[in-house]
């Protein structure tokens, strides 16, 4: 009975929290030609225009350049005067369970993992919740797109890229099933037993278990490759069919792995099946730079605000890791764990900039570099003519939490609402305490 009332209470709490943002509806399509004039344009490809103009119409950027050398006829459109402000391409949050989870303590709101160890047939996009109250908080910091990613097991399933202002997942999808995600089997460290008792698992047994997991992966991929090469399979197999695009170049394989030897083993595994790998995590990627460059492997660096995994590492290595990899010539993307935390993604890039990376290159790690890895760089990731008008205007440096203040944001030309639950609660309780002072 107690469990029944607890479930009822949590369900009601979920509903009430959802009503707090019921007035935030997706923005309508762009209705008129618009000019943004006088801002400092950060194009996302390393270029900065100190005093620029940006023109967009019907959701696309139709013009961009230096406002000091061009005379514009603005009689036919709407003008946004942005002198002294900054314009950035929309930030992209990779490898996140955003929209697949709402309350950590309420199991019914967690939809990012499935039972089982090998789940290549799982698709995150159909579970993506556009009514979640979380994406609005991200938009307020310039995060306008995300790679919604399943988790759990060795092979988790396929992610999809979405824009964060939509009525349903069909409207939100920018690229469906862009990548398959897996975790490379790693031999865990031995934990001592209680008191003087020896550990329950020996090093040999742990290594054997890890090798068995790798063998299972090898068998799965071998069968999937054979299935993909069969014109008309006699028996339909949903798991194997879901992996077809890995072998024809339609999908990349995102591999969660950190150790140097494990990174090399994971990349070689993908090469064996002629699959394009992307390393996620890569704590020790700096020890395998030459190997990664030779194989043209991108790295998604996770959680720059963290402690090193290895005792002997430099305590500041997590801050430096991205800069070391970028300066060595690798394509690097920055991500951050969780879903609420995604609002801090630009500040992760700001930390990387403070630890050895040029600020515009740091910006690329959450814009164009990410778009390239996700396969959406032809339409977004930078401010260029012909690309989607997905960008925002900030009164300060968007990578600096002290000065970042997003004043306007556009997704595919749509002027989106920047209200969110945090702002609503701030206003509510500010009004309360201001009333008490009177």
If you ran DSSP here, which 8-state letter would residue 285 be given? G
CATH 3.20.20.140 positions along the chain are 91-380
pTM score of the predicted model = 0.90
What confidence score (pLDDT) does residue 328 get?
95
Quote the crossing angle between the two packed helices 260-272 and 203-228, to the nearest 10°: 30
C-alpha dihedral (107, 345, 306, 318), degrees to nearest 10: 140
380 with 89: CB under 8 angstroms? yes
Which residue reads 């930390």 in tokens? 351
* pLDDT mean values, one per 10 residues, the chain (438 residues): 47 46 79 94 96 95 91 83 96 94 79 86 94 92 96 93 96 96 82 58 77 92 94 89 93 95 96 95 94 96 85 87 95 92 94 94 97 97 97 96 95 94 87 81
What confidence score (pLDDT) does residue 196 get?
60
CATH 2.30.40.10 positions along the chain are 26-90+382-418
CA distance linking residue 113 with residue 102, whole number of Å: 14
What confidence score (pLDDT) does residue 193 get?
55
132 with 96: CB under 8 angstroms? no
CA angle 407, 78, 145 (to 5 degrees): 45
Give the domain 91-380 fold.
Answer: TIM Barrel (3.20.20)
- Tokens found for residue 203: 């090093």
Helix (H) or strand (E) holding 160: strand 155-163
Whether CATH 2.70.70.10 fits 26-90+382-418: no
């Amino acid at each position: 009975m107690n469990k029944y009332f607890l479930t009822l209470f949590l369900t009601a709490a979920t509903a009430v929290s959802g009503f707090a943002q019921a007035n935030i509806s997706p923005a309508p399509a762009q209705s008129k030609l618009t000019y943004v004039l006088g801002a400092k344009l950060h194009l996302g490809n390393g270029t900065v225009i100190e005093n620029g103009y940006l023109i967009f119409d019907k959701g696309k950027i139709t013009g961009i350049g230096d406002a000091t050398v061009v005379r514009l006829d603005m009689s036919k459109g709407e003008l946004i005067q942005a002198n002294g402000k900054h314009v950035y391409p929309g930030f992209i949050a990779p490898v996140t369970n955003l929209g697949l989870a709402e309350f950590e303590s309420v199991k019914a709101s967690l939809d990012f993992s499935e039972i089982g160890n090998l789940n290549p047939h799982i698709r995150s996009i159909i579970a993506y919740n556009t009514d979640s109250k979380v994406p609005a908080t991200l938009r307020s910091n310039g995060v306008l797109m995300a790679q919604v990613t399943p988790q759990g097991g060795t092979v988790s399933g396929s992610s999809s890229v979405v824009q964060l202002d939509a009525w349903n997942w069909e409207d939100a999808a920018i690229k469906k099933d862009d990548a398959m995600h897996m975790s490379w089997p790693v031999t865990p460290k031995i934990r001592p037993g209680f008191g003087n008792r020896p550990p329950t698992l020996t090093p040999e047994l742990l290594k054997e278990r890890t090798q068995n997991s790798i063998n299972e992966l090898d068998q799965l991929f071998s069968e999937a490759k054979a299935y993909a090469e069969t014109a008309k399979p006699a028996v339909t197999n949903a798991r194997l069919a879901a992996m077809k695009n890995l072998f024809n170049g339609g999908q990349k394989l995102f591999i969660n792995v950190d150790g140097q030897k494990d990174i090399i083993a994971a990349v070689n595994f993908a090469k064996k099946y002629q699959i394009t790998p992307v390393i996620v995590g890569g704590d020790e990627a700096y020890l395998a730079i030459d190997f990664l460059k030779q194989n043209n492997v991108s790295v998604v660096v996770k959680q720059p605000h963290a402690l090193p995994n290895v005792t002997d590492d430099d305590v500041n290595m997590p801050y430096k890791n991205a800069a070391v990899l970028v300066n060595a010539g690798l394509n690097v993307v920055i991500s951050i764990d969780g879903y609420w935390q995604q609002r801090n993604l630009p500040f992760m890039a700001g930390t990387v900039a403070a630890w050895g990376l040029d600020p515009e290159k740091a910006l690329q790690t959450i814009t164009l570099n990410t778009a390239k890895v996700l396969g959406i760089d032809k339409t977004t990731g930078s401010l260029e003519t012909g690309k989607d008008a997905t960008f925002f205007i900030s009164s300060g440096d968007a990578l600096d939490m002290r000065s970042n203040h997003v004043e306007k944001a556009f997704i595919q030309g749509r002027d989106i609402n920047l209200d969110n639950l945090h702002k609503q609660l701030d206003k509510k309780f500010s009004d309360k305490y201001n009333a008490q002072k009177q």
